[in-house]
Amino acid sequence: MAASDPKEQTTTGAQKRLLGTFGGVFTPSILTILGIILFRRLGYVVGGAGLLSALLMLGLATLISVNTSVSLSAIATNRKVRGGGDYYLISRSLGVEYGGALGVLLYLAQAISVAFYCVGFGEGVAALTGGGALVVQGTAAVAAMGLFGLAYAGADLATRFQYVIMVILIAALTSFFFGAYAAFDPEQLQANLFADPDVEVEFWPLFAIFFPAVTGFTQGVSMSGDLKDASRSLPTGTFLAVGLSTVVYGAAIVMFAAALPLADLAGNYEAMSGIATIGWLIAAGVLSATLSSALASFLGAPRILQALAADRLFKGLGAFAAVDATTGNPRRAVVLTGIIALVTIVVGDLNAIASVVSMFFLISYGLLNYATYVEATGASPSFRPRFRWYDARASLLGTFMCGAVMLAIDPAATAVAVALLFAGYQYLRWTAVPTRWRDSRRAYRYQKVKEGLRELADQEESPVDWQPQILLFTDTEKRRGPMLKLASWISGGTGLITAVQLVEGDSGATSVQAARREAEAKLRAELDRERLDAYPLVLAAPDLPVAAMTLLQSWGVGPIRANTVAVNWLEYEDGATISPTLRFGRLLQRAMSLGHNLVVFDAGEDDWLRLAETPEEQRRIDVWWSEDDSSRLALLFAYLMTRTETWEDADLRLLAPAPAGGEQKVAANLRYRLEERRIEAEIVPVVDADAVVERSADATIVFLPLQVEGMRLLNPFGDPVERIPRELPLVTMVAAAHDILLRTEREVEPTTDDESRTDGEPPEPRDD
C-alpha cells in the first residue's frame, strides 16, 4: 500500500480509543497468561520439578510480574500513554537510546510470540488427529494466516473474537478442576512434593519453559494506543489479570500433583485432558488459548513497530509509521509481523521458542522496573503518578531479579540479549535525531549531583585529591580554538573547564543581551564541534575587571570551586603582536591573591603550525623544575597531558638545576621520587639553569614555573612575563597558589622536606 494512500496516515493522532479496561487490558492479558503453558506444559513442569519447586517457580515468576506491574502502573499513570506500550513508557523515561533499542527487541519478542502460540495450536491439532511435525507446522502456518486476517481488520473485531475464546477457556478450566477434584489424592500429593530422581529436570530450564506463562500481563500495555483511558485502565486491568491468573495456576499445580504421579505428568503433554471430566473441552481450550494469545501478540507487536517507526529513530522503518485513517490499525506493521511469524514457525520447537521469548521479555521487564526507579529517584516535580503504591527500591530490586533470572536460565543467551540491547543503544546514541520528548534521566542525574555535592561538602578536601577546576579566559575567537585544546590537554579528562568570555556593555540592554547570547551560541557550537569537555560561560557587564573579579569569587556550586585561571598571553590584532599586560596582568595578580593557580599559555601562530606538523609519536614535553609547588603543578599538568589520546605517545622530560659535579645525585633523587609517585619521565640535570632555549628549543611544549613577586609576574629568568624567548616552542607557564602534592595517598606527616633534597640519598616517605 503506497504511502500516499488517502486511507492511511503516518501519525497515531487519529486512532480511535474505543477499548476500556475489560476489553483492552484485562481480556488480552488474562487470555495470554492462561494459554499454551497452562494447558500443554504445566503438567510437564510439575512432573519434572515436583510440587514445591513448581510452586516456587510460580512464586518467582509472579513476584517478577507483580513487581513489574507495580512499576508499570507508576509510570503509566504519570503521563498520557500513547501507542507503543512498553516501548513508549521506557523511551519517555530512560530516553531515546534505551527506548529505541528495547523497542526493537520487544517487537521481535511479540512477533516471535505469535509463532510460539501458533505452534502450540498446531500441537493441539496434531494431538487430536495423530499427526506429526509436518501437521504441527502446517496447522501453525494456517492459524497464523487466519489471525493475520483478524489483526489486519483491526483491534475492535479481534477483541470481540476474544470474548468467544474466553467462554471456551472458562468451560475448559471448569472441566479440569471438576475432574481434578474427583481424582484428588492426598497421599499422591504428599508423594509429589519433591522431584522424582528418575524424571527430575533442572530447575532453570523448566523455569525458562514456564516463564512465558506470565508474560501476558503486558499485552494491555501493547494496546495502550487503543484505550479510552490508558492511565486508569492499565493498572486496574493488569493487576486483575495477574491476580486471577496466579490463583488459577497455583490451584492447577496443586491439582496436577494430587491427581497423577510425577512420571506420568513429565512424560505426557495430554495430562490435563486425562484429568478433566470432558476431555475434548481441554482440546478446545488449548486451541482457543493458543489462538487468543497469538492474536493478542498479533495486535501488540505491530503497534510497537508503528510507534517506533513514527518516532523516526531507525532509518528504513518510516514506511511502518502509517496507520489506517479509519481504524488506526498499523496494517503495514501487521504484514511484517505475519512474515516474521511464518518464518519462525519453520523452527517448530515450542520449548526452544519459549526460551528465546523469555529472554526478550525479561530484559524488557528489567528496564521497565529501572525506568520507574529512575523516575522515582529523580524526584522531578513532574513525576506525579496516580498510582501511589510503588517504591523505588522495589523497582530496582525488580531490575536485579530480572537480570539474575536471565543469567540463571542461560548466561550465553543473556550475553547475546544484552549485547543486542547495547548495540542498539550505541547506534541510537550516535545516529538518532534529537529527542522530541522529555525523559527522566536529567532529573535523575540532577539528584545524583546534589547527593554528590552534599557528600563532597562533608569530606575534608585534601591536596592529594586535587583536580583542576579551570576558568579559561579568552576574548579573541581566532585564538580560542587552540586555547580550548590546550586547556583540555592539561586537565587530562579530570576536573572541569569553563570557557569564559566577557562582553562589555550594560547587561540590561537588549542589544548587549543579544550579543551575549550570540557569543555563547558560537562558543557552545565550537565546543561541540571540537568535542571538547568544557562548558561555555559568557558574561555581560559594563566593567569587565569587576565582572572578572566577581566571577573568580563566585564561580562554582557547593564544594566545587574554581582553583585555576588560564589565559593566553600572546594576542594578535590585525596581524600585529600586542602586549596583554593591561588586559590580563591585574586579573592574574588578583586571581593569585584569591588562591587561584595561574596558567599562562604563550604561543604564536608559528608554534601552533609546528605542533600540528609534529607526529604524535615524536612529540616531547619539557618541564623545568624549580623545587617548588609551581614546579609540581607544572609536572602534574604535563603528566595529565600524557593521559590524553593526543599526547599518550609523547616523551616527558624533567629538567632540574644541579650544582657542578652533583648531576648524578640530583638525577637519582628525582628518579626515586618520581618512581614513588608513579610518573615516568626522563631526568635531565642542568648546571646552567638559564640554558632553556638551548635545551628545549626542539621540544613540542615547554612548561615553566611562573614567578609572582608582589604585583609583578616574572618568567623563570626574572624578566617580565611577556619576555619569553621567541626561539622556544609553545610555552605554558604555571604558578601554584597553594600546596600541590604528587603522591596518590596520605602518609605519615613529614619530618624533612624531601622535595628539596639534592644529596642523592633516598628520602624518607612523606607527603610531597
Domain 19-431: top CATH class:
mainly alpha
pLDDT at 116: 80
From the CB of residue 44, how many other CB atoms can be counted at a distance below 10 Å?
Answer: 22
pLDDT above 60 (res 766): no
Of 80-89, 211-220, 647-656, which one has max mean pLDDT? 647-656
- Rounded to the nearest integer, the mean pLDDT of the chain is 80
- Per the document, the length of the chain is 768
Confidence band, pLDDT 50/70/90 cuts, at residue 83 = low
Q: Where are the domains of the chain?
A: 19-431, 463-756
pLDDT at 397: 92
pLDDT at 382: 60
pLDDT above 70 (res 744): no
pLDDT at 432: 59
What is the C-alpha separation between 731 and 55, in angstroms, rounded? 74
pLDDT at 711: 63
What is the C-alpha separation between 87 and 105, in angstroms, rounded? 10
Of 117-126, 620-629, 737-746, which one has max mean pLDDT? 620-629
pLDDT above 90 (res 172): yes
Q: Which has the higher per-residue pLDDT, 762 or 736?
A: 736
Q: Which has the higher per-residue pLDDT, 442 or 43?
A: 43
pLDDT at 171: 93
Q: Which has the higher per-residue pLDDT, 268 or 669?
A: 669
pLDDT above 70 (res 475): no
pLDDT above 70 (res 661): yes
Instruction: Give me the residue label for grid cell 543486542.
Output: 420
pLDDT at 755: 47
What is the C-alpha separation between 240 and 221, in angstroms, rounded? 14
Of 21-30, 385-394, 664-673, 712-721, which one has max mean pLDDT? 664-673
pLDDT at 349: 62
**Longest CA span, the chain:** 109
Question: Concatenated DSSP letters for 203-272?
Answer: HHHHHHHHGGGGGGGGHHHHTGGGBSSHHHHHHHHHHHHHHHHHHHHHHHHHHHHHHS-HHHHHT-TTHH
pLDDT at 51: 94
Q: Which residues contact 588 (CB under 8 A, 6 or more apart)?
A: 565, 567, 598, 600, 713
Q: Which residues contact 331 (CB under 8 A, 6 or more apart)?
A: 1, 8, 152, 302, 322, 323, 324
- pTM of the entire structure? 0.63
Q: Which has the higher per-residue pLDDT, 540 or 87?
A: 540
What is the C-alpha separation between 662 and 669, in angstroms, rounded? 11
**Gyration radius of the chain over CA positions:** 35
pLDDT at 1: 38
Closest CA to 75 of 507, 282, 377, 448: 377
pLDDT at 688: 75
pLDDT above 80 (res 12): no
- Least confident range of 94-103, 323-332, 710-719: 710-719
pLDDT at 747: 45
Using the Cα atoms of residue 546, residue 551, residue 554 and residue 559 in order, give the sign of their dihedral: negative
pLDDT above 80 (res 191): yes
pLDDT above 80 (res 524): yes
633-646 pLDDT per residue, tens: 999 999 889 888 88
What is the C-alpha separation between 699 and 5, in angstroms, rounded? 69
286-325 pLDDT per residue, tens: 888 788 778 878 888 888 888 888 888 888 788 888 887 7
pLDDT above 80 (res 281): yes
pLDDT above 60 (res 449): yes
Of 147-151, 393-397, 552-556, 606-610, which one has max mean pLDDT? 393-397
pLDDT above 60 (res 753): no
- Least confident range of 272-286, 289-303, 411-425, 740-754: 740-754
C-alpha dihedral over 250, 252, 254, 256, to 10 degrees? Answer: -150
pLDDT at 46: 93
221-252 pLDDT per residue, tens: 666 666 777 777 888 888 899 999 999 999 99
Mean pLDDT calculated for residue range 584-611: 82
Mean pLDDT calculated for residue range 483-502: 87
| % of the chain residues with pLDDT over 90 | 16
pLDDT at 351: 60
Strand partners of residue 577: 572
Instruction: Give me the residue label for grid cell 585534601.
Output: 462
Q: Which residues contact 578 (CB under 8 A, 6 or more apart)?
A: 571, 572
pLDDT above 80 (res 326): no
pLDDT at 575: 45
| % of the chain residues with pLDDT over 70 | 83
pLDDT above 50 (res 159): yes
Mean pLDDT calculated for residue range 740-760: 51
From the CB of residue 618, how many other CB atoms can be counted at a distance below 10 Å?
Answer: 10
Mean pLDDT calculated for residue range 32-44: 85
pLDDT at 258: 94
pLDDT at 156: 66
Assigned CATH topology for domain 463-756 = Rossmann fold (3.40.50)
338: number of CA atoms within 13 Å, CB side? 18
